[in-house]
Chain A
Amino acid sequence: MHYHLPEDILAIRDLCADIGRKHIRPVREELDRENRFPTEIMKVLADSDMFRIYIPEAYGGLGLGALALCIAAEELSRVCAGVATTYAANALGAMPILLSGSEEQKKRFLPDLADGRKLAAFALTEPDAGSDAGGIRTKAIRDGDHYILNGTKQWITNGGEAKIYTVIALTDPDRGPRGASALIVEDGTPGFSYGKKEDKMGIRASATRELIFEDCRVPAENLIGREGTGFMVAMKTLDNSRPGVAAQAVGIAQGALDEAMIYASQRRQFGQRIDSFQGIQFMLADMATQIEAARALVYCVARMIDGGAKKFEKEAAMAKVFASDTAMRVTTDAVQILGGYGYMKEYPVEKMMRDAKITQIYEGTNQIQRNVIASALIRETASREK
């Protein structure tokens, strides 16, 4: 399919493909096996300007927008979704500052993120508040010109590796979600420490860790927007980042199809290449068609965002659901096409199938995405009937 991508975006795709081939492919199996954070690869991505693409020019970025980020996430995921998650979580962490930060905050934090000198992370989830993010309990109580932060965030991507965290906490616990605020917390702030690092099914190159706040004093000037807008900031952040997760899913699926195509052309059974069997051909055809449909939807939503759309929560959710369900199906089929070899760690599709699963879970499970889509549909219908 020809998407008529502009030159800058094609350059991103080529660069990420190159980085994937030279720097990620040779180590992805080892990163996965050893649960190892890809520090060196983040350095390569920084040197290649990949952390600049989603940051405006005024803050050291290139201001290339949502589609550019999707293309980078897709191309990196094609080789290793663990690396791609580590990369994309920076955009997620920066998003609250990009969307709602003050000029002063943007000037203070974004240039280091654009350079890749510092990594970022976004912290919403807690042990008792996943899908129901409104149930968070971490408190940030104002004390003079500081907020005193207490509580635990769980499963934070880039936890322990990032230097800049955007944290959602309750500044007015009595008001529930309406009392939530977004704060920027820097690594090294007294009272801020890291808990256990998770041992995960997939995306094992990425770090997923607990953040622990014990009377952690955060300067009041690190409040993003106004008190009480934290939940809104979080939801806007997720609306903007979901197409990126969808793009990861497209990349994972494409990577699996690439492997399945090569394998099916080389493996012989019953005296023939297995890609000569109609049973295999139909699987490959369906995989490719589903991937292209997912990709088209993702690019379309990204272009909608870049075009300046104000509301796109439904479309972003659709892209995430459709692409991540596709990734799960396609990677499962890729394992099937490789037969017993596909089940072995020596072949990359085994990892791809494990990696694909997360795209149905994080940044809002696919059930939650369907809730978002359905409530938007119902709202739209109700407003038409008025």
Chain B
Amino acid sequence: MRIVVALKQVPDTADVRIDPERNTLMRDGVPSIMNPFDAYALEEGLRWRDALGGEVVAITMGPPQAEEMLREAISIGADRAVLLTDRAFAGSDTWATSNTLAAAVRKLGGAELVFAGKQAIDGDTAQVGPGIAASLDWPQVTFVGRVREISGGRLLAERFVEGGFEVVECPLPAVLTMLKDANVPRMPSLRGKMRARTADIARWGRGDLELAPEETGLDGSPTRVVKIATPEARAGGEIHRGSPEELARILADILLGGEAGE
């Protein structure tokens, strides 16, 4: 069984700053990490490989330095990794990114499963996993909190929804996007680290993926970021003190614009 895990390198901070001129994230000086949700996707892939046999291939689309994260994936247990990197990929939105990742899955010769994180903590779109499924025309199960079973060409997963979870059955191949809590990501092993240091990481560009210019990168991106703005800090509320009666009156005054009677 081939299991592909789609990973993204993201800045290691919850509050990235935005370059007001260029409307892009300011990444300089911010260390990069594997997107936290993706660590659960990788672990889920490794578990099913360990249980069912086969290989885990880690893929990412990103700049050359994303190779570092792929080596980390190998140190944790991925069998091999592919870096999709090309100037032609620059400016990809979620649509173009999904196309590009899906093309890589095809070039790998397909897969039984693709795992991705629920969303990336920098863009927060939660669209790339579903996008890959759409591009491959495979079923998708998003927000997966637990994969119960994979057998006989089908899988059974719990997908978390407001107030509970749905148990979804679906045929393979399929794309799953994983939540935290789905598992406990393992640590790298020493043998993994030793292997990661010397592993050959394949690099594929647009040509390798047989994508037309309008299928990837800026030209393949129907959406444009027109503006990124930081919301105005909300003004502090008013604080009133007094007896319950007094406070009720004050509140009523505010709500009714001073029309509260006796």
Chain A residues proximal to chain B, CB less than 8 Å? 7-8, 11-12, 14-15, 18-19, 22, 44, 47-50, 52-53, 62
Contacts and interface: CB of A to CB of B under 8 A. Distances in A.
A8 B187 contact: no
B223 interface: no
A15 B190 contact: yes
A62 B191 contact: yes
Contacts of B193: 11, 14-15
A48 B197 contact: no
A49 B189 contact: yes
Contacts of A18: 187-188
With a 10 A CB-CB cut-off, give which of B189, B190, B191, B192 has the most chain A CB atoms: B190
B190 A52 contact: yes
A49 B77 CA distance: 12
A214 to B, nearest CB: 41
B190 A12 contact: yes
A50 B189 CA distance: 8
Contact of A44 (B187, B190, B192, B197): B187
Contacts of B186: 47
Contacts, number: 37
Interface of B: 186-194, 197
With a 10 A CB-CB cut-off, give which of B187, B191, B197 has the most chain A CB atoms: B187
Contacts of B187: 15, 18-19, 22, 44, 47-48
27 contacts: A7-B197, A8-B190, A8-B194, A11-B190, A11-B193, A11-B194, A12-B190, A15-B187, A15-B188, A15-B189, A15-B190, A15-B193, A18-B188, A19-B187, A22-B187, A44-B187, A47-B186, A48-B189, A48-B190, A49-B189, A49-B190, A49-B191, A50-B190, A52-B191, A62-B190, A62-B191, A62-B194
Contacts of A52: 190-191
Given A8-B194, A15-B189, 19 more contacts: A7-B197, A8-B190, A11-B197, A12-B190, A15-B188, A19-B187, A44-B187, A47-B186, A47-B187, A47-B189, A48-B190, A49-B189, A49-B190, A49-B191, A49-B192, A52-B190, A52-B191, A62-B190, A62-B194
Nearest to B77: A47
A10 to B, nearest CB: 9
A267 B102 CA distance: 56
Contacts of B189: 15, 47-49
Nearest to B194: A8
Contacts of B188: 15, 18, 48
Contacts of A48: 187-190
Contacts of A19: 187
A169 to B, nearest CB: 35
With a 10 A CB-CB cut-off, give which of A12, A19, A47 has the most chain B CB atoms: A47
Nearest to B191: A49
Nearest to A8: B194
A56 to B, nearest CB: 15
A100 B190 CA distance: 27
Contacts of B190: 8, 11-12, 15, 48-50, 52-53, 62
A106 to B, nearest CB: 20
Nearest to B192: A49
Contacts of A14: 193
Contacts of B194: 8, 11, 62
Nearest to A46: B189
Contacts of B191: 49, 52, 62
In the A-B complex, the 5 residue pairs with the closest CB atoms: A49-B190, A11-B193, A49-B189, A48-B189, A49-B191
A195 B195 CA distance: 44
A129 B147 CA distance: 57
A270 B59 CA distance: 57
A49 B186 CA distance: 13
Nearest to A10: B193
